[in-house]
Structure 1
């Protein structure tokens, strides 16, 4: 039953479905629906966060210490670093800064499910270019879709939820075709899992910006996935200071908490240990991917910390099969399901559920 609001809302907002998480797993099961890092926080991170006692004080709204640390890491001025409450907040800020009514925001689809809502909230129009056959970005299709109304182009590599990377050459070709006054957002939420993939790399963008090129491109990163700080909500952008200043103007003040900033700083101190965990997850992902291919799944080569199972039609039945085995997965109605790579103990049930689903689909084909 839908309850009408007692006040006038923007029609497009009233019709917009709120972002929702996947189902809660059964008791004793595994949550494989949110692409979270299955490892607990490093002890050093947990200790530093627990020791944060100034909870009655506002955080440093400029995140000076973290920005300076990240600036040194990327070889840029601190003004070229912007910190926000996760990459979704960054996306919202940049879209609102660059696009409004009558403007277009271009991205590959299926992509990250938050993109359409963020564009709608900004009052702009989404232009969705269907993924290619391998679940990646159709670069030629995206180039053809650029118009004089295009204000933002989002490139997600690895792409969520399909896991495909945007080849570096394809990304370069897209950048060459996009006008220099159009904002390009390179969403690299899962980049640490894609080392060696040959995909677009934000580090090359930052290097070009140090030379005064690609000033219209902003690289987005998050501490939620590989760094395991999803609960603290913190991410950052690297780009031209004037572009970042526009995003800061749209931000909710003081939204990045002090514990989040401290946790990010400590995590940077222990990057090697965290990257060992990333390598373990990537190895587990590849084992799962090969097993799924052996089962008969047409699974794109995954480069994030998840796998994409194309299930056109009754995705609910497929998700239920995983849930019966104690696994929550992310269902995209009528298209497929995304399964995060979680604890090692979840792998056997993941593959058993996948075998059940693909077997039933093959039997009815």
Structure 2
């Protein structure tokens, strides 16, 4: 960060002190980039064709995104007005936080969770209330409920949780929602839901109309492989989404992104077959890490979480030297995306080197 001049413009101190979101590091030509939870498969030909056939860039996109919203509304069994589009689900999260919380208000979320949450809350002028994860890296829903006060305006539940990969069950979420005050907005962040294979997991698509204070946020970035086009969506009560639409940057969802999302829904079977392959590879990696004596929570997204603690920076260096670019997160751990199948041998070899050379306490975890 640059040092401002002595006659600097007065900026919000909480913003100046905030570190900007940092993208996962790029990989060298002979390395695998497993730092950004990207889908490693190239886009299907139909998506490429849809992008090429999109309207000229001299024209604005359909600001309302009516065609895509209608498709999604039919899928969720809601009205079009109860679906909102954004430039990725993180954009929608920012809009909802700004719509619900401001100075003096609080936003509750589990931590560690998606690293953008603190920044989004700070930009809105609100106060973060991070609630520590449980010892097995899951949301502590009871503690999150206990953290709700008269100042709480919004609670975020991330399932599967990024970066720990843990999930919230349907029964747990139902109990949680029954206890949350109805004037507090709850966002169920399901950016990785398509990778879940456990039938007990919460599924936002089954909750439409059940709660007056719930918004479900999803994205086309991960499972559908459209990360570079930036398109996500939310499903929830119309009046809440109207508030989000008010705070959004106009015309931020491009025509190409909308066309690609529609074609992706047309070819969903093909894309979800890819997701299934990634989930199988994820589970293979997880079991191999357990065999190496890692304490790895069972993953339900397209990544695994290595709780390296104080050795996180050193562990990331070992992975990097082995040709694996990972995502080190503070002094908590390393997140490793599931990428090309060719990356697995390098990944596991580096993971074994970390266990062998760094002084971390490792013990055999429970399998679930």
Q: Same fold (TM over 0.5)?
A: yes
Matched, 1:243 2:227: no
In the aligned structure 2, how far is the partner of 1:58 from the partner of 1:364?
55
Deviation at 1:362, TM superposition (A): 5.1
Q: Residue 154 of structure 1: which of 153, 156, 171 is its match?
A: 156
In the aligned structure 2, how far is the partner of 1:49 from the partner of 1:204?
31
Q: How does 1:94-243 map to 2 (within 5 A)?
A: 94-206=96-208, 209=209, 213-243=210-240
Deviation at 1:334, TM superposition (A): 1.0
Q: Residue 15 of structure 1 aligns with which residue?
A: 17
In the aligned structure 1, how far is the partner of 2:307 from the partner of 2:225?
27
Q: How does 1:1-365 map to 2 (within 5 A)?
A: 2-4=2-4, 6-206=8-208, 209=209, 213-361=210-358
Number of aligned residue pairs: 360
Q: Residue 365 of structure 2 aligns with which residue?
A: none
* 8 A contact 1:224–1:235 mirrored in 2: yes
In the aligned structure 2, how far is the partner of 1:97 from the partner of 1:214?
18
Return 5+ residue gaps in structure 2 as ranges: 363-368
Deviation at 1:133, TM superposition (A): 1.2
* 8 A contact 1:165–1:197 mirrored in 2: no
In the aligned structure 1, how far is the partner of 2:281 from the partner of 2:308?
22
**Deviation beyond 6 Å, 4+ runs, structure 1:** none
3-state SS in 2 of match to 1:82: strand
TM-score by length of 1: 0.96
Deviation at 1:177, TM superposition (A): 1.1
In the aligned structure 2, how far is the partner of 1:304 from the partner of 1:364?
25
CA deviations over 1:88-110 (Å, ceiling 9, x no partner):
00000000000000000000000
Range moving further from structure 2, 219-228 or 165-174: 165-174
CA deviations over 1:134-171 (Å, ceiling 9, x no partner):
11100111111111111000000000000000121211
3-state SS in 1 of match to 2:134: coil
In the aligned structure 2, how far is the partner of 1:169 from the partner of 1:39?
34
* 8 A contact 1:197–1:303 mirrored in 2: no
Deviation at 1:317, TM superposition (A): 1.0
